[in-house]
Structure 1
């Protein structure tokens, strides 16, 4: 789940908080399918392009699980976060010997996707697509198809947010939850730098774009399950929802902030769990379209 921020910049502490839950939530079968794609490919080295790399969480998860020699191109608009990602890549390369070339590119993803994806065997991204527009996703699918690359796009929000009692696992959603989540949904459709964002419709829109460009698509659920053992992440997430909802409805500031305090306290006490739905997508060019 991408945390809403005014300029869609993801702070390093937020990315660090979410990493372990992200990794535990991912659909491992799709990573295995990506590994088989690279293993079966003709290239001596799999060239992986990671869009919106941030601090390198996607790299840290995938590199040990992908086969053989790999080269990576890490792309993000934030040079400081990319510095962290490059350090991770070097450590992985030294530890495993499986990573060869490492290229870090500071770029606006709204610009030339064809150049960014040049030579890709696998294009990947995590927690990115709720921030993007339908038109941008169409351009991305076309650029991936031009490379005959497989794609592994993970942790796209699907709109499921459920509050559950930790004792009996029953839903405990109330009127304030619904009020705030409606505001959040509206906020997620603002322009985050890649056109008017599609928000929680990202998985279905991305699937449709890939199919139009000749891909066979697999989708699996990758939900977050947050409770007292992930209290810091749950609290930061609720604060992000609070801030987004307040931006959307400033006059309801007091109601929204009271809601956030109550929900954060309930998670901290161990009374409340939160399920945040995500979807992972793996897709390969259909037979006859290349590779």
Structure 2
């Protein structure tokens, strides 16, 4: 996954509160119920005798956070699941990893301890054998960066390991701005095309990722739950809205250079409205929970 975009700690920090407000809170409840009923991943009992893998946490949960960034998913989810929990934080950026390890501290929903360790490297190399003993795979704002092949490999690995997956804040390609402008739809379409464009030998799914992931997990027997998780940005989130606007319009112009002149004027108007507290935006995302077959009829 060598072409994965880089994300700065500043951007991830700026968006954390909006991410937390947007994620669907019903999916962790479904997940927690399943984990309480089936705490051991399928196939765990068939592991050969010998020392436990290094990533086991006794009778607690082992959670792998893919593309963890600064650890915002762990800070949001750990307190919604019973512990103890051991978070395995995957990211290529050592600066982000160090912040994440320091920031994912719990406690769990029942007050029990939460620990975190860094797992540097390419998260797309995660296969079923790496998931042995893993209770949950999770990620935030990641799926739209992956290719169909990478999403399929993730679904295969989770199915083989009997491991649930909670994948949140996947962009859907829908944006609503109030007040609306005629150029909104054209900018949005260009941005969505930019999300899907081929980079080297990679063809990210972009706004098609949520549907693609749902299909991939369902093909491998998972029980798939999908929920909307939109950012709802108003005057209180003006700093985030402004930074998001710059990136959104900039990607659209990169995809369609002919939009450069009208997009520059458009961005000036939008930023002025944002500064004045007169702009509201809904940026649509989707959360997905894939639960492996129970195998017990319950």
Shared fold, TM over 0.5? yes
Query: How far apart in 1 are the matches of 2:117 and 2:132?
Result: 12
Deviates most, 264-273 or 215-224: 264-273
Report deviation, 1:93. 6.0
Q: Which runs of 5+ in 2 are unaligned?
A: 41-58
Identify the match of residue 213 of structure 1 among 198, 207, 220: 220
Query: How far apart in 2 are the matches of 1:92 and 1:42?
Result: 19
Q: After the TM superposition, which parts of structure 1 deviate over 4 Å for at least 4 consecutive aligned residues?
A: 191-194
**Residues 217 and 281 in structure 1, CA contact (< 8 A), matched pair in contact too:** yes
- Which residue matches 2:23? 26
Report deviation, 1:259. 1.2
- Which residue matches 1:152? 166
**Residues 39 and 61 in structure 2, CA contact (< 8 A), matched pair in contact too:** no
Aligned residues: 277
1:113-141: CA deviation from partner (whole Å, max 9, x where unpaired)? 33543321111100001111111111000
Q: CA RMSD in A?
A: 2.3
TM-score (norm. length: structure 2): 0.86
- Which residue matches 1:71? 86
Matches within 5 A, 1:53-72: 53-72=68-87
Matched, 1:12 2:9: yes
Quick one: structure 1 residues 193 and 275, their matched pair in 2 at CA, closer, same or farther if it must change by over 3 Å?
A: farther
**Residues 24 and 229 in structure 2, CA contact (< 8 A), matched pair in contact too:** yes
- Which residue matches 2:247? 240
TM-score (norm. length: structure 1): 0.88
SS at match of 1:233: helix
Q: Which runs of 5+ in 1 are unaligned?
A: 1-5, 166-171
Quick one: structure 1 residues 192 and 83, their matched pair in 2 at CA, closer, same or farther if it must change by over 3 Å?
A: farther
**Residues 148 and 285 in structure 1, CA contact (< 8 A), matched pair in contact too:** yes
Report deviation, 1:191. 4.3
**Residues 173 and 284 in structure 2, CA contact (< 8 A), matched pair in contact too:** yes
**Relative contact order: is structure 1 or structure 2 higher (C-alpha 8 Å, sep ≥ 6)?**
1
